[in-house]
Chains A and B, each alone.
Chain A
Amino acid sequence: MSTEKNEKALVNLVDINKIFYTDEVETQALNGINLSINKGEYLSISGPSGCGKSTLLSLLGLLDTSSNGQYSLAGHDVSDLSRDERARIRNKEIGFVFQSFNLISDLSVEENVALPLTYRGDLTASDIQQRVTESLEKVEMAHRGSHFPSQLSGGQQQRVAIARALAGTPSIILADEPTGNLDSKNAQIVMNLLDKLHQEGVTICMVTHDPASAARASRMIEVFDGTIVADKATASASAIAV
């Protein structure tokens, strides 16, 4: 566990605290988190329920801001950005994959994948179409482009969600229990897909409480009570490094 500032890291968190205040009750969800993630790493975060995994992920994804501490993403300090700037960076640099897929039910598969791209304003319609097709091909869902989420299985929906996260070519993919709602067969497919993306160089940060899934990452972090208690390379890391 290194606490010194790593300038070359893609993600660099220094002394991050997050305190929630609800009805005069203080919850210290994160307590002195120091973490850097390098480009191309496949990181898993595990720990018991309520230890702060999702909170950490939403700070990484700029969905929320820390109570104090410093966060730099791709060399830029993003600790004190306005809501609009955070939205812009979130759209360009971060791809989310959620436990419950979170596709918009009234948009088709293609439209769901296109949605974050349409928020950018600097892409032409044909750019968007091309990216949508490419990322759907990556997750092998191109043939279902005009279907609606309700017509797909859970595993297929999660693959579409991953395609949506990939479409914007983000710096990092943040996945919160991506297999939590899937049966083991579909979970396997999604985990294999993440492995494949990792091999293609995508940086992934995945929250999971399944030890087997955690072990497939190149680096495992364990969180307990808002603190990182373990940070180690896994066997699969060396396997890939070879």
Chain B
Amino acid sequence: MSFWIDIKYAARLLLKKPLFALTSILIVAVGLGLTVYTYSMLNSLVFKPMTLNGDVPIYAIEAEYDHNHLSRRPADPFDLNRVKRDIDVVDDIGFYQDGTALFQDIEGKSGTVKFNASYVSWNVFEFSSTPPMLGRGFRESDQQKGAEPVVMLSYDIWRDYFDANEQVVNSLLTVEGEKMRVVGVMPQGYAFPMVAQAWLLLPPEFLAPVERGNQSVFGFMKLKSGVEFSEFERELDRVNPLIIQDIPEEFIWRLSDNGSYLRALDYKEASITQYYSIFIAMFIVVFLILILACINIGNLLLARVNERIKEVAIRVALGIPRTR
């Protein structure tokens, strides 16, 4: 009974001023909705570690962030290979470079089209545990010296430039002036290690250089199963100084201003480092909107409370317990 009296009372109050109730609910709903939406977006974009299809987290390993130019910096694959060799808990490391590729005479039309391309190590699709939609993924043998050059197409250019023709798989294209075999088409939306229209293989010397050089790549990395990231970080702290020690004068530019070199972090975090402050600013703005909404509701309610103060006094006189 007591419960029902309270419910009926609340319902009558709402019905008495439906416009007021509606406005309040709407303001709160919009404010709350915006916050929840932004939060969940940021959550999947920023806060949750990237695992792609498998459950194994993927980390980025590269040179220290360049705070002066607000940009990420690649590292020498020679050094990344050393990390893989010297740190036991590393399961595998892959490399990539951001670039473009010129495609010639597509589908019989003469002319050249330039695409965004990722130059990668052959294991990239295994890392993301995403098989191609058509054809096959890269193989280790594809990246060996003397192997036939291969290219992987994205869904978008396959649809837009090749009329979604499945015959394109296994055909030969002229890319960067070289005949390349199309091995497959990736599914729509696939964007690892980054958004690209085509994937090409890095030259073999990038995979296992025998000495330091000017070649630069970003690394992606998996740890052995059951290994905590902090464990790897400790190892990296041990190996980093040894690598730095070995760097000769001519490659001292690899180091950042404060003399540090390699860093590892969650892959997604690395890929949004540049935009991180924007996300945070966005979240703050949305949060402020929510606060604004609450203040507005507060004001609206305050006006109603003044009407209700007398009722509260009556209930107090009747001995309402503080819990109600």
Of the candidates A63, A90, A114, the one whose C-beta lies within 8 Å of that of B1 is A114
Hey, which chain A residues are within 8 Å of B13, CB to CB?
106
Which B residues, 1 to 26, have Cβ-Cβ distances below 8 Å to chain A?
1-2, 5, 8-9, 12-13, 16
What B residues does A88 contact at CB under 8 A? 319, 321
Indicate whether A229 reaches chain B with its CB closer than 8 angstroms: no
> With the chains together, A92 CA to B319 CA distance in Å?
8
User: Cβ of A103: which chain B residues have Cβ within 8 Å of it?
Assistant: 314
- Find residues 153-206 in chain A having any chain B CB closer than 8 Å to their own CB: 164
A119: Cβ under 8 A from any B Cβ:
yes
Q: Does A52 contact B (CB under 8 A)?
A: no
Kindly count the residue-residue contacts between A and B in the assembled complex, taking CB atoms under 8 Å apart.
67
Q: Contacts A102-B310, A118-B5, A128-B1 given; indicate if A96 touches B318 (C-beta within 8 A).
A: yes
The answer to whether A74 has its CB under 8 Å from any CB of chain B is: no
The residues of B that contact A233 with a CB separation of less than 8 Å are: none
| Cα distance A129–B1 in the bound complex, in angstroms | 9
Cβ distance A55 to chain B, nearest Cβ, rounded Å? 15
Asked if B324 is at the interface (CB within 8 A of a chain A CB), the reply is yes
Does chain A have a CB within 8 A of B315? yes
Q: How many residues of A contact B (CB 8 A)?
A: 29
Q: A87 vs B5: C-alpha distance in the bound complex, in angstroms?
A: 20
Indicate whether A237 reaches chain B with its CB closer than 8 angstroms.
no
Q: Give Cα A125–Cα B315 distance, bound, in whole angstroms.
A: 19
Instruction: Write out the residue numbers on chain B whose beta carbons fall within 8 Å of the beta carbon of A19.
Output: none
Please name the residue on chain A nearest to B10 by beta carbon: A106
How far does the alpha carbon of A118 sit from the alpha carbon of B317 in the complex, in Å? 14
Interchain CA distance A127-B1 in the complex, whole Å = 10
- The 8 lowest CB-CB distance pairs between A and B, nearest first, are A91-B319, A118-B2, A90-B319, A116-B318, A125-B1, A106-B12, A102-B314, A87-B319
List 14 additional contacts besides A61-B317, A107-B8; criterion CB under 8 Å.
A63-B317, A83-B322, A87-B316, A90-B319, A92-B319, A103-B314, A104-B314, A106-B9, A107-B9, A111-B9, A114-B1, A118-B2, A121-B321, A128-B1
**Pairs across A and B, CB under 8 Å, 18 listed:** A84-B321, A87-B316, A87-B319, A88-B321, A89-B319, A90-B317, A96-B317, A98-B317, A102-B313, A102-B314, A106-B12, A111-B8, A111-B9, A114-B1, A116-B319, A118-B5, A119-B320, A125-B1
